[in-house]
Each structure stands twice: as structure tokens, then as C-alpha cells.
Structure 1
Amino acid sequence: MRKILFLFLCSYVVSVQAQSLKPDSIFAQMKNVADWQWKTLETNGWKNPKKDWTSGAMYTGMMAFAKLANTDTYYQKLIQVGEDNKWKIGHYRHFADDYCVGQLYSELYSIYKRPEYIADFKSLADSVVILPHTESLEWKKSIQLREWAWCDALFMGPPALAYLTQATGDAKYLDKASELWWKSTAYLYDKDERLFYRDSRYFDKKEKNGAKVFWGRGNGWVIAGLVRLLSTMPQSHRDYKRFVKLYKAMSGRLAKLQQADGTWHASLLDPESYPSKETSGTGFITYAMAWGVNNKLLPYRKYKTTLDKAWAALSTSVHPDGKLGYVQAQGAAPDKVGYDDTDVYGVGAFLLAGTEFFKLNLNQGSKVLIK
């Protein structure tokens, strides 16, 4: 009897997982999460400013979902954000966190061609490209207000400049993004581990098990920023192959660090000290890998199981009402996380992952009718 029950449960789990991988199920889960987040913001208010990096990261996923859903409702919500912000970036103009929102403005400009959408961000970007950027990236003297001295910045800053090039056709923004990306990489990337330190304060720190400290979401920020750059970069660009090489190296390393529960834990090299699932880093990593498969940079057969497990872990972290759980709180290092923990940047990561995972499964021969 126990054997029969066990086989039944195994069959049920496989059936549920198979259902969750169908494009219509993926889309429905994304819509559930997106709608819950917008409703919660509109009902309870915004925890952080609408120009904040947390919000900016959410918009990246909301924009991807708006394109997939192809309904005016989601675009209008994002345009309203821009209107509320008066299309301005944040207070510290050379602080990458404060112009992450430029990604949204540039993507909306590419659709609607309204000059006011990018006027302030373009003014900032024009100053970024002429600055010398010769300082050390050592974490002191508020270096983060002037340089990309922490790995999170590689999601906030470079894609913003790259999307501005896509919007305007002016290559100088993408070229500067590439130049500064490699400056940060030379400083923060561990070639042996094929992972990024969060910032210089972590070069000599160790986890409880003696391993180096590599933050899950931190490396999620990097690889997601990397593919957002690649998605806007012509293959003829002088640095394109260099970016692809880094992308493949990180993808291969991260695939080996995925945990049995399908996620990447808060600490990549000491997952046992942070045993819970973590969905923000997992979302960004899943997004990046699925994008790579969709764009023929990673082999489908090699990454299929990794991606299927990751999406199953993400989708089972969604509460029945659409709230995404297991999102590590704002920070700079691995930390504890639980089922009820959520934040808007986690939703952004989830929606980015979902849009690419949807395309991946659609491309493999599935058919879907979006209503």
C-alpha cells in the first residue's frame, strides 16, 4: 500500500510540474504575480520611492510582461509611473541605483517616441560618457556615488545606458557601458570561481564553511545585467564576443551551484548556512539562462533540467493570491529568508524569468492562447 501511495504521489508531482511548464500556465502565473503587485502598491502604497532602484528593478520585469501580454493596461501603469516621476531619475545622479529607472524610460521611449520620457536621463547619460572614471573601486569615500564599485550596479547602470543607445541610436552610451562594465569586472570578478564579489569589503571574508562569500542575488544582478546588455548589443560590437565568453563562463558555473530545491541560495558556496529557497537571485539567474537558450548561446538540452527545476521552484513560491515569497530583504550579503518575505525587485526578477521561460517552452513546440 505504501509503495502504491508513493508511486501515486510521484506521478502527481510529475503531473503538476508538467502542467506548470506549459506556456499558458506560465503566463497565468506571471499575470497573478504582476496583478497582485500592482494591486498591493495601489492599495497599500509604495514602500520606496518610484525612482528607487527597488522600483526600477521591478519595472524591468513589468515591462517585459507588458510586451508579452500586449495589452494597454500594463503599459499605462508604467507610463503613469513615469508621469508621477516627472520622467526624472533619482537624487544622486551618478549613482547607478538612482538611474536604474532609466531602463524603463528608454524602453517606453522606443515604443511611444515621446522626447520628455528620456530628456532627464539623457542629460545624465551625456555627463556619464565624458567623465574620466579613473578612481579606484575600493569601497571608501562613497565611491558608489561615482563609479560601479559593487556588483549590483551592473544590473542598474550598464543596461540603462545600453537601452538609451537602443532608443536614440547613439552608440556612445553603449560604448561607455561596455568600458565601465569591464572596469568593474576587472576589479570584482574572481576568475577561478567565475563569480563576482559584491564589493571590495568581501574580498577576504569567509562563510562559516570557510568558502569565499559570493552572494546569490549579487551574482543574479550581474548575469541579468549582462544579458540585458547583450540583448541590445550588435554582434559586430568590438566587445560582443568578450561579453558572450563571460556570460557562458558564469552560466556554466551557476548551473553547477543550483540546489536540489531548484534555487540558488543566498550564499552560493555555503548554501547549508542559508537553507531556504531564495527567489530574487533565482529569478535573475533563471532569466539569464533562459534568455541564453532562446538566443542560441546556451544548449537547450544541457540547460533544460536546470531551467525546469528553477521555474518549478519559483512558481511554487507564489502564494495563492499572487504574492511572491522567499525574496531576501534588501542588503549586500547572504541573509535569511522565508515564505512570507517579498519585495518588488523579486517580482521584477520573477517576471523577467517568466517571460523568457514562456518563450522557451513556446519555442519547443507548445501552443498557447493568451486571453
Structure 2
Amino acid sequence: MSLYKWVLLIVCISLNTSNLFAQEKTESRVPDYPVPYTYPSVDSIKGVLNRVRNYYDSTCDLKIIDSKTGKEITDFTTPNKNARVSEGFAGEWSYTNGVVLSAFEYIDDVTGDSTYFADNTRFFNLVVKTLPYFEKNHEVFGKEARGGWGRTPNFKALDDCGSIGAAMIKTYLKNKNKDYLPLIDTIADYISNRQFRLKDGTLARHRPQYVSVWADDLYMSVPFLVNMGKLTGDHKYYDDAVRQILQMAQRLYVPSVGLFDHGWNKNSGEYDPRFYWGRANGWAILSMSEVLSVLPENYPGRNKVLDLFRSMVRTLAHLQDGTGFWHNLLDKNDTYLETSCTAIFTYCIAKGINEGWISHVYGPVAIMGWNAVNTRVLKNGAVDGTCEGTTFASDNTYYYYRGRSIYATHGYGPVLYAGAEMIRLLENDKFIIVKPKPNSINSAFHFLLKSEWPEK
């Protein structure tokens, strides 16, 4: 080989080696996490909760107004067909506001910040004060009087009363305002005696098929039922709460998958198409959390609910995205990362650890769930990335392309709940939490049970 060829070969080898070294230098061995793989602080979580609450409250001044003049109505003796509750999230008699108000009551317990619970008292006091006025308006003006507190007291569906009714009971158990009791009793009568059920007592709907069971209806009924049992001491409500979970699971829970199908209908029966929608599974496991929190440990059926809860948590840990989020269709990684179900799962997993229902090894799943949720809380406190209200459908396309926005109020209560439970988790003195080291090649979260380790 000529000298020229030798020199050319050496130059080529040198250039290739330089390119390899350059490539190695640009590829970091330190993981580049899209959502921070870091330990949140209690103060930072409290800051998020305050922002969310302030934004939520800012959407409505919670007054009764004349929709024609815009002026506040304070005289509730004279009927007015234009009377309305001022618009905004915080003024709705709705199941989503029910989740928020239940979360406010819980944050009061966890943090001792009574400003959250003050919102509950303000809201429900206004409801019971003005409900007779709205009823009189409907009596006098008929359909011309469109204002009021939703369909109260003439409920047409569980959505109309179950979730917000549960929040009302929780509020009553603290402030003891006896004016709440007649409406609470009306809700109990509707759920127990007037809502459509299957022959075995399972709560059902005439929508979309004539005989349909929705996973969502677990949250629209069970929290009210179990809290009604707590309020009255009547175990028939406990029994019905447990029955709803177990009997809906017979139709909707798929053991081989570890998730709830969104809905079931009689027409397709055992061959019903299955869609594992995130928030429906959230409502299901959130309902189990309520039951496990209220029922005595040895109450009949509680262990079956606990087993179902644990099975779901195991599945959810497996399906959590690397960002900490869960997908809108839980088993479809090409559907978007959704806020409300991520917040619910974060709350339930953290709650399960705090209460001893599940192993502490799931702690990192909850931390990353919270870190993910935190990225969706905007500077003004609005919660973004929440799937819009979603019916029980029978095709993937519908679920894939659901809208999402800050105006989908289904995300606010779950985020508030998740933050409160994460505070409890970080302050839980049963654990040593090993935190990942910044800029480390190989460092992970670990929750260790103090009682298992010798003191140093």
C-alpha cells in the first residue's frame, strides 16, 4: 500500500473515532425525565391546593340574581321567574361540584385549614335557604321559571344527587345544620326507592340501551349510601353500598385485565364490547376507597371490596405511563394522558398506603402520579387536560377523540383529593422515604417500613 493510501486510511479512522466520541458525549447517561422524578414538598402541595381552590371559587360569586337585570335577589318572598344561581363552577348543584366539596371537607381534616370547609357551609346553607323560593317560582311560573338547584328535588338520575348528596352529609356531620336533613332524606329516598334497578338490586339506567349499567354510577351512589349509613346508623345503607360494588363488578370488572369496562347492557350481555375508560375506573376505585374508609373492618363484604381494590391497584401500577400519567383509555398507549383519572388513582394509591390497605412499595407510583398532575395545574389554579363529560359508548373512536379542557370540571375535585392524601403520605411517620439523587445515573424512590429496619 502506498504512503498516500496509508495516510488517507489513518485520517478516516481518526475522523470516525472522533465522531464516535462526539456522539458519546452528546448522549447523557443521566435519565432525562419528561416529568420531574423528584420528591414533592408538603408546602408546594399546599400551594397547589390553594391555587386550585382560589381559581375554582373565583368562577362564581354564589348569589341569586335576576338573569334579566343582572341584579342580586335578596327578597325570597316574591316569586321571580328570572331568578337564577349566578353562573360558575362553584355555584353548581352537580356531581362534579360534589367531588370538590367532599375534597374541601377532607382538606380541612388533613391540614386544619378551615377556609376550605367554609366553602361547604356557604354553599349548602344557600341551597337550603333558597330551595323553597325556587320551588315556589316553578309552582307559579311553570316552565318559564328555569332557575334553581339543578333538578332538585325532582331528581331524574343518580348524577342529580348522589355525589353532591354525599358532600352534604359530610358537611352536616361537621356543622350540624339540621336544615340539611330534609333534602338528605329526599336524596336517600330517590337512590334507595325510585332509581331504576335490575332485578337483583343493581343500580342501572335506561341509557344508552334500555337496560344499561355504568361504572360511573358507583360514585354516583356508593359514597352517598355509605355516608348515609354513617349518619343514620342504619346498616341497610352499608349493605346496599357493598352490594353495588360487588354486583356491578360481576358485570363490569374483567379479572384477566384487572379493570372495569365502562358499561354493560343487557342486549349484548356476556359479549358486551369492552372499553377501559380512565375516569370510569377512577370513579369505581374512588367508591371503594369511601367504603373501606367508613365500614367497620369485619363488616360483611368489606374484604371482597378490599381484594378488588388491591387487584386494581396492581393493574394500575403496571399501566402507569412513564410520565406518571395514565391514558384516557387505560390499555391504549396511543390515547392521550388524562388528568382526572391520574389524580383519582394518585389519591387512591396514596390513601391505600396510608390506611394500610396496600403495600407501601406502591409509594413511588403515587409520587409520580402527583408530579404528573402538578404539571397540569396552571399558574392561575385552573386544572387542564381533563377529559370532557363522556357517555357510555360502543366504539374506540369516540373515546380516542374526547375533548379536554380547564372547563371539564371533573378534574378539580380529584386534584384536591390527591393533594390532600399526598400530604398525609409525605407526613406518614411509618415510612422512611429514600429519595432519588439529582443527576444520578441509577437512583430510584423507595418507601421503607421503619418497623422492619433496625435503628441506627
TM-score normalised per structure 2: 0.69
Q: 1:220 aligns with which of 282, 286, 289?
A: 282
DSSP-derived class of the 2:381 partner? coil
DSSP-derived class of the 2:388 partner? coil
Q: Which residue of the partner structure matches residue 209 of structure 1?
A: none
Letter in 2 for 1:59: L
Q: Which residue of the partner structure matches residue 311 of structure 1?
A: 370
Q: Which residue of the partner structure matches residue 293 of structure 1?
A: 353
Q: Which residue of the partner structure matches residue 350 of structure 1?
A: 415
Q: Which residue of the partner structure matches residue 137 of structure 2?
A: none
The answer to which structure, 1 or 2, has the higher relative contact order (CA under 8 A, 6+ apart) is: 1
Distance 1:12 1:204 in 2: 41
Query: What are the residue-to-residue correspondences of 1:115-130 with 2, within 5 Å?
Result: 115-126=178-189, 128-129=191-192
Residues 172-209 of structure 1 show CA distances to partners (whole Å, capped at 9, x for unaligned) of 21222222332222222222212111112598676xxx
Q: CA deviation at 1:70?
A: 2.2
**Residue 178 in 1 paired to residue 198 in 2?**
no
Q: Could you tell me whether the CA contact under 8 Å between 1:325 and 1:338 is conserved in 2? A: no
Query: What are the residue-to-residue correspondences of 1:107-186 with 2, within 5 Å?
Result: 107-126=170-189, 128-129=191-192, 133-135=197-199, 141-142=206-207, 149-186=213-250
Residues 306-327 of structure 1 show CA distances to partners (whole Å, capped at 9, x for unaligned) of 1121111001111122111111
21-30 or 66-75, which deviates more: 66-75
Q: Could you tell me whether the CA contact under 8 Å between 2:229 and 2:238 is conserved in 1? A: yes
Q: Could you tell me whether the CA contact under 8 Å between 2:99 and 2:167 is conserved in 1? A: no
262-271 or 65-74, which deviates more: 65-74
Q: Could you tell me whether the CA contact under 8 Å between 2:225 and 2:237 is conserved in 1? A: yes
**Residue 262 in 1 paired to residue 282 in 2?**
no
- Richer in strand (by share): 2
Q: CA deviation at 1:236?
A: 1.9
Q: Could you tell me whether the CA contact under 8 Å between 2:382 and 2:406 is conserved in 1? A: no
Query: What are the residue-to-residue correspondences of 1:328-347 with 2, within 5 Å?
Result: 328-332=387-391, 334-336=399-401, 340-347=405-412
Task: Count how many residue pairs are aligned between Structure 1 and Structure 2.
Answer: 356
TM-score normalised per structure 1: 0.83
Q: Which residue of the partner structure matches residue 15 of structure 2?
A: none
C-alpha RMSD over aligned residues: 3.4
- The structure whose Rg is larger is 2
Residues 64-101 of structure 1 show CA distances to partners (whole Å, capped at 9, x for unaligned) of 22333423322221112112322878535362211221
Q: Which residue of the partner structure matches residue 197 of structure 1?
A: 261
DSSP-derived class of the 2:61 partner? helix
56-65 or 154-163, which deviates more: 56-65
Q: Which residue of the partner structure matches residue 167 of structure 2?
A: 104
Residues 108-136 of structure 1 show CA distances to partners (whole Å, capped at 9, x for unaligned) of 11112222223222233146445794448
Q: CA deviation at 1:354?
A: 1.1
Distance 1:180 1:260 in 2: 34
Q: Could you tell me whether the CA contact under 8 Å between 1:328 and 1:341 is conserved in 2? A: no
DSSP-derived class of the 1:304 partner? helix
Distance 1:85 1:181 in 2: 30
**Residue 325 in 1 paired to residue 384 in 2?**
yes
Residues 16-40 of structure 1 show CA distances to partners (whole Å, capped at 9, x for unaligned) of 6535x12121121112112111113
Q: Which residue of the partner structure matches residue 19 of structure 2?
A: none
Q: Could you tell me whether the CA contact under 8 Å between 2:215 and 2:263 is conserved in 1? A: yes
CA shift in 2, pair 1:326/1:187, >3 Å: same
DSSP-derived class of the 2:357 partner? coil
Q: 1:234 aligns with which of 292, 296, 305?
A: 296
Q: CA deviation at 1:237?
A: 0.7
Residues 49-75 of structure 1 show CA distances to partners (whole Å, capped at 9, x for unaligned) of 622122222222222223334233222
CA shift in 2, pair 1:230/1:286, >3 Å: same
Distance 1:133 1:338 in 2: 31
Q: 1:37 aligns with which of 52, 56, 62?
A: 56
In structure 1, runs of 5+ residues without a counterpart are 207-211, 367-371
DSSP-derived class of the 1:149 partner? strand
CA shift in 2, pair 1:190/1:58, >3 Å: same
CA shift in 2, pair 1:353/1:5, >3 Å: farther
Percent identity among equivalent residues? 23
Q: Could you tell me whether the CA contact under 8 Å between 1:259 and 1:265 is conserved in 2? A: yes
CA shift in 2, pair 1:6/1:30, >3 Å: farther
Q: Which residue of the partner structure matches residue 78 of structure 2?
A: none
Q: Which residue of the partner structure matches residue 46 of structure 1?
A: 88
Q: Which residue of the partner structure matches residue 18 of structure 1?
A: 38
Letter in 2 for 1:102: G
Q: CA deviation at 1:213?
A: 1.6
Letter in 1 for 2:414: A
In structure 2, runs of 5+ residues without a counterpart are 1-21, 63-85, 132-148, 394-398, 433-456
Q: CA deviation at 1:278?
A: 0.7
